[in-house]
């Protein structure tokens, strides 16, 4: 990911007419022959650079913000589904006795439209973040954004997969008759845990993979503009 971004930076610098990378000590190296480490030195990609540090904070924040948005999206979509199921029980007589068929298509429509609608804002944020970071902090900021998003996103995804799976399996374990079985206080607690665990392991955790890839692709596409102009 970072290597691909650096290659786009190399191409962008070449198109701008730059031939060499000139370092603070006066030495220089040809852009065409410069390895990855020389680009890191040229753009001062280290933790003492406030641009890199700001980008890392923004990247780490993006992972948590994206998870929060997807968790809320699941809650809202589930709420709409529950309202529809209650409406059908109320308006379509005979569902509980098997004398009438529920309107399955309406539930599928709610789920599909909800999934598309709720992901508009998270997707826009994931697209806009690398562009704005590049405009403000330049190449060092974007590199920090990608590093922060990758490191925090990976750890958060592993945590959500493990925690969500544990909560989900805890409910199944109790429903098999352990710790009082169904209807017990332990079962009520695991139902609450499973309500959070399912979005953890099925929605927010896997979606972080998309976040990291999307930010990386946008950063690579916008690399030429980032090289040509930035605020700082």
**Which pLDDT belongs to residue 24?**
87
> Cα 147 from chain centroid?
13
**pLDDT value of position 2:** 84
pLDDT at 1 exceeding the cut of 80: no
The helix (H) or strand (E) run that includes residue 3 is helix 2-15
Tens of pLDDT, residues 31-72: 999 999 999 999 999 999 999 999 999 999 999 999 999 999
Q: Are 96 and 89 in contact (CB under 8 A)?
A: yes
State the helix-helix crossing angle for 205-221 and 50-91, rounded to 10 degrees: 130
Range of the domain at 192: 2-228
Tokens representing 127 are 């697209």
Helices (H), 119-182: 120-175
- Residue 26, Ramachandran bin (φ over 0: left; ψ between -120 and 50: alpha; else beta): left
The count of domains in the chain is: 1
pLDDT, tens only, 111-167: 999 889 999 999 999 999 999 999 999 999 999 999 999 999 999 999 999 999 999
The model's pTM:
0.90
For residue 156, the 8-state DSSP code is H
Cα separation, 16 vs 85, whole angstroms: 60
Judge whether 55 and 62 are in contact, CB under 8 Å: no
The per-residue pLDDT for range 65-90, each reduced to its tens digit, is 999 999 999 999 989 999 999 999 99
């Amino acid at each position: 990911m970072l290597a691909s971004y650096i290659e786009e930076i190399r191409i962008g610098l070449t198109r701008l007419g730059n031939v060499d990378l000139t370092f603070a000590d006066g030495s220089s190296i040809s852009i065409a022959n410069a390895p990855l480490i020389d680009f890191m030195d040229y753009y001062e990609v280290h933790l003492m650079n406030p641009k890199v540090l700001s980008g890392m904070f923004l990247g780490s924040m993006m992972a948590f913000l994206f998870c929060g948005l997807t968790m809320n999206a699941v809650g809202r979509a589930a709420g709409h589904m529950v309202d529809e199921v209650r409406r059908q029980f109320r308006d379509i007589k005979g569902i509980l006795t098997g004398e009438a068929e529920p309107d399955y298509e309406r539930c599928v429509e709610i789920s599909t439209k909800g999934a598309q609608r709720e992901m508009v804002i998270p997707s826009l944020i994931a697209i806009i973040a690398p562009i704005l970071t590049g405009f403000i902090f330049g190449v060092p900021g974007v590199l920090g954004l990608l590093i922060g998003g990758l490191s925090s996103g990976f750890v958060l995804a592993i945590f959500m997969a493990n925690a969500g799976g544990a909560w989900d399996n805890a409910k199944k374990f109790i429903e098999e008759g352990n710790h009082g079985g169904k209807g017990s206080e332990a079962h009520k607690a695991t139902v609450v845990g499973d309500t959070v665990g399912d979005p953890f392991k099925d929605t927010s955790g896997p979606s972080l993979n998309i976040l990291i890839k999307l930010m990386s692709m946008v950063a690579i596409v916008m690399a030429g503009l980032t090289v040509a102009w930035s605020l700082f």
